[in-house]
Amino acid sequence: MKVEKKEAFQPELRAKENPLFSMGGVGANTVHNNYTKGAKFSRRLRRARQRVVRKILKAKTGFAKGSLGKQIGSCREVNFTDVEMLRGEAAYYQGLVTCQNFWLCPFCSAKRAEQRREEVNGALAVARQDGKQIVLLTFTMQHRRGEQLAELLEVLQSAYSGMRQSPQFRKIQFCGLARALELTWGEANGWHPHFHVVAILDAESPEAALEAVEPLRAVWVDRLQRRGRDGAEDRAFDARGGSAAGDYITKWGVAEELTLSGVKEAKNGGLSQWDFLDRAAQEPRFAEIWWEFAQATRGKRLLQMNEDFKQLASRFEEVAGEPEVEPEFVMDFEDWSAVKDRQVKMLEAAESCADIDAARVAIAVAMHNRGTDRDLPLEPEGEVIEEKRHRKTEGFRD
């Protein structure tokens, strides 16, 4: 089945215009010298974050054999063949080893999130075309500062499976479920692990879909109580439907909510994993928080789709494919090891001019300049202040 992208996911497409989106740098529209500032700075930021991640992991594990995150140390640094630089919408490299750590690696997690976002959007587009209803559910629980993340996660997961086995849950006609695990941390209440679930339902209207899932509220609170947890007067369960969620879903998009947790701001002064990683560079206690996060998420699934959901996603066909791009610069092993610490500068040089000959000169200059990517400022003066203001006023919930 072919779905016209534009018609099918208007709400999700709008998220691309969101300033947060370009802050995250995922899916930003970019053409050579027109490469957005947000995307450019987010690549620098990811590189800087990768250095902080490595530093913490090295201190904690010494990168011993089989230790957590060992491969992050070589992600996008080590090559397995000649390295090619290509200029598509943005400039990028081919031939580099990636770590595939979707929780901890700033690059791999962003790439994965973008793939997952497209997959979820595809499934939702097909579901809408089929006349189904979409509901976004959030499952949380009460927690206190000082509680261990691993323990909280265990309660959350077991309460969720308990709820799934309940007769009330089984009675609901779901046509697809996708569940994302999200973890934030706040000064007041410590760890805040929660699930976001996108549920696709066969229902007459958005209101009917919300009504169908409402019995889950009592079940969720009950399953928490059985584990000695409080549902805080039903607030642990939240359901939003197509129309009721209105602005919220339109601005941000269900798929973004599910897959781009690293990009949005956490609610109530909570910090996302990238927020506390950024603070870890200055304050050691945040490195400890990040390390707890790193250990607790090991082996955990970021996003889980059931078979029905995957089926819907598989019915979605991309209309436009990726344009073919020819490599414009090839580096062998020796070349690469000499310049890999300047790889971001070289990409920026490649993007600085649309004309290929001019770009080649710029790349050569960046290659032979002294200094490394560490010298790159992470925030342009003036510009980011503007973006930060946007982030505040958007007021996304977590």
Of the candidates 52, 118, 56, the one whose C-alpha atom is nearest the C-alpha of residue 317 is 118
- Subset of residues 206 to 245 that bind Zn ion, contact rule: CB under 5 A: none
**Which of residues 105, 123, 245, 359 is near Zn ion by CB under 5 A?**
105
Q: By rule CB under 5 A, what string of x and - marks binding of each residue 61-100 to Zn ion?
A: --------------x----------------------xx-
| Complex with Zn ion: residue 70 or 397, whichever CB lies closer | 70
Cβ-contact 260, 24 below 8 angstroms: yes
Task: Please give the Cα distance from 239 to 174 (Å, whole number).
Answer: 15
| Complex with Zn ion: residue 37 or 51, whichever CB lies closer | 51
| Complex with Zn ion: residue 75 or 305, whichever CB lies closer | 75
Distance in Å, CB of 51 to Zn ion, minimum: 13
Binding-residue total with Zn ion (CB under 5 A): 6
Gyration radius of the chain over CA positions: 22
Residue 58: count other Cβ atoms within 10 Å of its Cβ.
Answer: 14
- Subset of residues 248 to 277 that bind Zn ion, contact rule: CB under 5 A: none
| Complex with Zn ion: residue 107 or 139, whichever CB lies closer | 107
Residue 193: count other Cβ atoms within 10 Å of its Cβ.
Answer: 25
Q: Residue 129 in 3-state DSSP?
A: helix
Based on the shown chain and the rule CB under 5 A, indicate whether residue 294 belongs to the binding site for Zn ion. no
Cα dist from 202 to 11, 128, 169, whole Å = 20, 11, 14
| Complex with Zn ion: residue 104 or 136, whichever CB lies closer | 104
Of the candidates 48, 50, 26, the one whose C-alpha atom is nearest the C-alpha of residue 36 is 26
Distance in Å, CB of 46 to Zn ion, minimum: 10
**Which of residues 26, 108, 245, 350 is near Zn ion by CB under 5 A?**
108
Burial class (CB in 10 A: 0-12, 13-18, 19+), 138: middle
Please give the residue ranges that form the binding site for Zn ion (CB under 5 A): 75, 98-99, 105, 107-108
